[in-house]
Amino acid sequence: MNVTIQAIHFDAKAELNEFIQKKVAKLEQYSDEITNVDIAMKVIKPETSENKEVLMKVAVPNNELVVTKVADSFEEAFANAMDAMIIQIKKTKEKARS
């Protein structure tokens, strides 16, 4: 599983990258068919609250799952994106079985 983390228009701290790497590794327990995980983080409208956006793309055979979440912090947005992605992975797995 290849993981790409991209910080758009800001420098991500090492702690944030480590947090994301650790959480993304847990996706393998939901599907062993994941080939790529792309994460893009950016700040939108810097003067407002809830201005951190995380876009997460997960490539599985014959499909690409995409989730976008916005929150006050990148950690919160990423955690919300992970929760939504896990649901999508489970649904995709169920469809493949039936």
Cα 28–Cα 10–Cα 14 angle in degrees, nearest 5: 50
Domain membership of residue 26 as a residue range: 2-97
**Considering only CA atoms, which of 14, 8, 73, 65 is closest in space to residue 36?**
65
In this predicted structure, the answer to whether residue 97 has a pLDDT above a threshold of 90 is no
H-type alpha helices, the chain? 14-25, 74-97
Q: How many domains does the chain have?
A: 1
> pLDDT tens digits, residue range 47-76?
788 899 999 999 998 899 999 999 999 999
CATH number at residue 67: 3.30.160.100
In this predicted structure, the answer to whether residue 45 has a pLDDT above a threshold of 90 is no
pLDDT given for residue 27 in this prediction: 93
Please give the residue that has the higher pLDDT: either 98 or 26.
26
Cα 4–Cα 66–Cα 93 angle in degrees, nearest 5: 105
**Considering only CA atoms, which of 35, 49, 96, 37 is closest in space to residue 77?**
49
